[in-house]
C-alpha cells in the first residue's frame, strides 16, 4: 500500500484523532497513489498512524478513514454507514419528521460523504476524492440499510473543484418522478427542489431552530430575511404570527415559499413576499421607518474559511446593525452564521458590536446550533459550523 511519511512533529493532530493531514505536513510519498486511493500515514519514525484517502490536488492531502490497522473495504464502509444510521434512531425524529441527515462526513467517520434522507429518497453528496472513488460501492449498502430505493446525487458543491472533481447531478440509483419533492418536518409540509435547491435541497440543519421560531412568533410582525423557500416563514405563520414578510433574491424560491404556505393551509393574507437584495431592502425599510417584532437573519455562507473572516465580519455587522434598528422594543432578533471561518465567539462579538453601533441595548436569550443529526465529533471541531443567537431588544 502507498504510504505518506510525515515530517517530524507533524503527527500530533493524528494522535488527537483529527482526520485531516495537510500537504505541508508530508515529508514524502512512497509509491504512486491514485486520486481517492487508500494510503497509510506514517510518522517520521515510520510508525503507523492512520489509513486514509489520498487527494493529490487538495491542500488537505489525506483524510483518515481509520486510526486502526484494518482494511478499508466494502464491509468497513458498510459498518460505518450502519453506525451512522443507528445513531439517528436515538433521537426518534419520526413520525413528526421524515427528512434529516443520515451521514455527516468526517463527523460520522466517512470523510467527504453527505447523505440526507428526504422521505423515501436519499440525496448523496460526494465532496472528496476518497468518497468519489467509493461512491458506487457506498450506494448499495445505503439502500440495503435504509430500505430506500432511490438515491439522487447532488455532488455539485464548489469544494469538489479543490479535489480535481467535476460536478455531478442526477439519479445514482432508482428513479424520481418529480424534483419538487414533498417532505414533512415537525408536522409541517414542504416542497423541496432536489435537483437545484440549495445544499441537498433544503436546510435540514435548521430543523430545531425553525421549531423555536414557531414557538416565539405568536402575535408578532415577522421579517424573514434570506427566506429561501420559507422554512422559517411557514413556522412563524404556524406559530400564530400576526404577519410575515419574506425576503429573498430568488423569485423561484419565493414562489416555492408561497406554494408551501398553501400546502400547509396557512393564512396567505398574513403573508407578503419581496424579491431583492436583503442589504438594500433593510436600508430601504430603515429609511421608511418600518419596524418589526421579530427579524430572522439566515444569510448564505459569507466566510467559507478563516481567510474570508474579515470581509464576512463587515457583512454580518451590516445586516445585524440594520436589524437592530428595525426592531421594536421587546422585539426578537434570530440571527445566524453558517460560515466555518467565523466561530461562535467571533459571531457573538459581531452581533454585540452591531447592537452598540445601532445604539440599542439587547440581551442574548438563546443560543442556537445545528440539529442532532448534524453531530460534532469532539476530535473534529470543524464540524460545528452553524451558530445562532436569539437577542431581545430592550
Residues 85, 133 within the same domain: yes
For 47, what's the count of Cα atoms within 13 Å in the CB-facing half-sphere? 11
- In sequence order, which ranges of 239-377 are alpha helices (DSSP H)? 251-263, 278-287, 309-326, 344-358
H/E run at residue 209: helix 207-216
How many Å apart are CA 63 and CA 134, to the nearest integer?
14
- What phi and psi values does residue 176 have, to the nearest 5 degrees? -140, 125
Same domain? 57 vs 149: no
Strand, helix or coil for residue 275: strand
In angstroms, how far apart are the furthest CA atoms of the chain?
71
Residue 36, domain extent: 3-66
The three-state (H, E, C) secondary structure of 91-119, written as one string: CCCCCCCCEEEEEEHHHHCCCCEEEEEEC
| Counted domains in the chain | 3
| Nine-digit cell string for 24 | 505541508
60 and 133 part of one domain: no
**Under-70 pLDDT residues of the chain:** 303
- Same domain, residue pair 49 and 82: no
**Shared domain check, 225 and 128:** no
Question: Do 137 and 256 lie in a common domain?
Answer: no
Do 279 and 144 sit in the same domain of this protein? Answer: no
Rounded to whole angstroms, how far apart are CA atoms 332 and 230? 19
Q: Is 147 left (phi over 0), alpha (psi -120 to 50) or beta?
A: left
In angstroms, the Cα distances linking 349 to 18, 280, 290, 345, 364 are 28, 24, 26, 6, 12
Report pLDDT for 179.
78
Judge whether 227 counts as a catalytic residue. Answer: no
In this predicted model, what pLDDT tens digit does every residue of 325-348 receive, in sequence order?
A: 999 999 999 999 999 889 999 999
- Domain containing residue 311: CATH number: 3.40.50.150
Tell whether 252 and 313 lie within a shared domain. yes
Phi, psi of 335 (to 5 degrees): -125, 140
Q: Does residue 81 sit in the same domain as residue 141?
A: yes
- For residues 119 and 260, membership in a common domain is answered with no
Residue 87, pLDDT score: 95
- Count of helices and strands (H, E) across the chain: 10, 20
- Whichever domain contains 31, its CATH number is 2.30.130.10
Residue ending a domain, choose from 40, 66, 92: 66
Q: Which of 225, 227, 257, 338 is catalytic?
A: 338
Q: Say how many residues make up the chain.
A: 394
Quick one: 233 and 290 in the same domain?
yes
Amino acid at each position: 500500500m502507498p504510504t505518506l511519511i510525515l515530517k517530524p512533529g507533524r503527527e500530533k493532530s493524528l494522535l488527537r484523532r483529527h482526520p485531516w493531514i495537510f500537504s505541508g505536513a508530508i515529508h514524502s510519498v512512497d509509491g504512486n497513489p491514485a486520486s481517492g486511493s487508500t494510503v497509510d500515514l506514517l510518522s517520521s519514525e515510520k510508525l503507523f498512524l492512520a489509513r486514509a484517502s489520498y487527494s493529490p490536488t487538495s491542500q488537505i492531502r489525506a483524510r483518515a478513514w481509520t486510526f486502526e490497522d484494518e482494511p478499508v473495504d466494502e464491509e468497513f464502509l458498510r459498518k460505518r454507514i450502519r453506525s451512522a444510521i443507528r445513531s439517528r434512531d436515538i433521537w426518534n425524529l419520526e413520525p413528526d419528521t421524515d427528512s434529516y441527515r443520515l451521514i455527516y462526513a468526517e463527523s460520522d467517520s466517512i470523510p467527504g460523504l453527505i447523505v440526507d434522507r428526504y422521505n423515501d429518497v436519499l440525496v448523496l453528496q460526494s465532496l472528496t476524492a476518497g468518497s468519489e472513488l467509493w461512491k458506487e460501492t457506498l450506494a448499495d449498502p445505503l439502500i440495503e440499510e435504509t430500505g430506500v430505493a432511490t438515491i439522487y446525487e447532488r455532488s455539485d458543491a464548489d469544494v469538489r473543484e479543490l479535489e480535481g472533481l467535476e460536478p455531478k447531478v442526477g439519479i445514482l440509483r432508482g428513479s424520481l418522478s418529480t424534483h419538487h419533492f414533498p417532505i414533512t418536518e415537525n408536522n409541517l409540509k414542504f416542497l423541496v427542489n432536489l435537483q437545484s435547491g440549495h445544499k441537498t435541497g433544503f436546510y435540514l440543519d435548521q430543523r430545531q431552530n425553525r421549531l423555536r421560531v414557531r414557538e416565539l412568533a405568536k402575535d408578532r410582525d415577522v421579517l424573514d430575511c434570506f427566506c429561501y423557500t420559507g422554512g422559517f416563514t411557514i413556522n412563524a405563520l404556524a406559530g400564530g404570527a400576526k404577519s410575515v414578510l419574506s425576503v429573498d433574491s430568488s423569485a423561484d424560491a419565493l414562489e416555492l415559499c408561497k406554494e408551501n404556505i398553501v400546502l400547509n393551509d396557512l393564512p396567505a393574507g398574513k403573508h407578503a413576499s419581496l424579491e431583492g437584495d436583503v442589504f438594500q431592502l433593510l436600508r430601504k425599510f430603515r429609511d421608511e421607518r418600518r419596524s418589526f417584532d421579530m427579524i430572522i437573519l439566515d444569510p448564505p455562507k459569507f466566510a467559507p474559511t478563516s481567510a474570508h473572516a474579515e470581509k464576512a465580519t463587515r457583512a454580518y455587522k451590516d445586516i445585524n446593525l440594520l436589524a437592530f434598528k428595525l426592531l421594536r422594543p421587546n422585539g426578537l432578533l434570530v440571527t445566524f452564521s453558517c460560515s466555518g471561518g467565523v466561530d461562535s465567539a467571533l459571531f457573538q462579538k459581531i452581533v454585540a458590536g452591531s447592537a452598540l453601533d445601532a445604539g440599542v441595548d439587547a440581551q442574548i436569550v438563546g443560543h442556537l446550533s445545528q440539529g442532532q443529526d448534524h453531530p460534532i465529533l469532539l476530535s473534529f471541531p470543524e464540524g460545528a459550523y452553524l451558530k445562532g443567537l436569539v437577542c431581545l431588544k430592550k
